Amino acid sequence: MSSPAYEIDEMISAKAIAARIEELAREIRREFRDTEKLVVVGLLRGSFVFIADLVRELDLPVEVDFLEVSSYGDAMESSREVRIFKDLRGKIEGRDVLVVEDIVDTGHTLAHVARFLGNRNPAKMRTIALLDKPSRREVEFAADWIGFTIPDEFVVGYGIDYAQRNRNLPFIGKVRLTEESGT
């Protein structure tokens, strides 16, 4: 089994990501400054790098938890049907929660997760996504904070994969399929 041949063109540098995270952290700190202990929920697996950098900039008492949801499988197409594979370990009722996602694309994932967690009656829930592709939206959903708005390109790196590869790139790159692909 091999995935199509492709190359990766840098779209957002590691430096630009770090600078943007500093800005976002400042706003988030302000939003949750009165929170006793914020629950930061990362959506696995794509957000693992982003959440690691974000919480280290927050300078707030935080608890970190994870939710694993279905996504693209190994392809470039969204499955649209969102499933929870791994639930939170902790309770969020009455707590302040920040949901951290890598990309909002069609919007199905975050809309579903917001409903799923909202049903547990957190005191306050906010969402942040590193990347937003508004042109791809199928269900109305707007995250409270967005790192970067990007065009309709398939991207990898900084936690984000293509068929489980390239998560460990330090920057965000766009996937360019090369000629040999298309089998």
Kindly list the catalytic residues. Answer: 105
Q: How far apart are CA 99 and CA 110, in angstroms?
A: 9
Q: Where are the beta strands (DSSP E) in 23-123?
A: 38-44, 62-69, 84-86, 96-104
Q: How far is the CB of 3 from ligand IMP (least distance, A)?
A: 13
Q: Residue from 12, 39, 71, 146 that binds Mg ion (CB under 5 A)?
A: 71
- DSSP label at 165? B
- The residue (of 14 and 82) whose beta carbon lies closer to ligand IMP is 82
Q: How far is the CB of 147 from ligand IMP (least distance, A)?
A: 13
Q: Whole-angstrom distance between the N-terminal and C-terminal Cα of the chain?
A: 11
- Asked whether the beta carbons of 39 and 161 are under 8 A apart, the reply is no
Q: How far apart are CA 157 and CA 77, in angstroms?
A: 18
- The residue (of 35 and 71) whose beta carbon lies closer to Mg ion is 71
Q: Residue from 11, 21, 38, 46 that binds Mg ion (CB under 5 A)?
A: 46
Q: Residue from 8, 24, 67, 103 that binds ligand IMP (CB under 6 A)?
A: 103
Binding site for ligand IMP (CB under 6 A): 46, 71-72, 78, 101-109, 154-155, 160
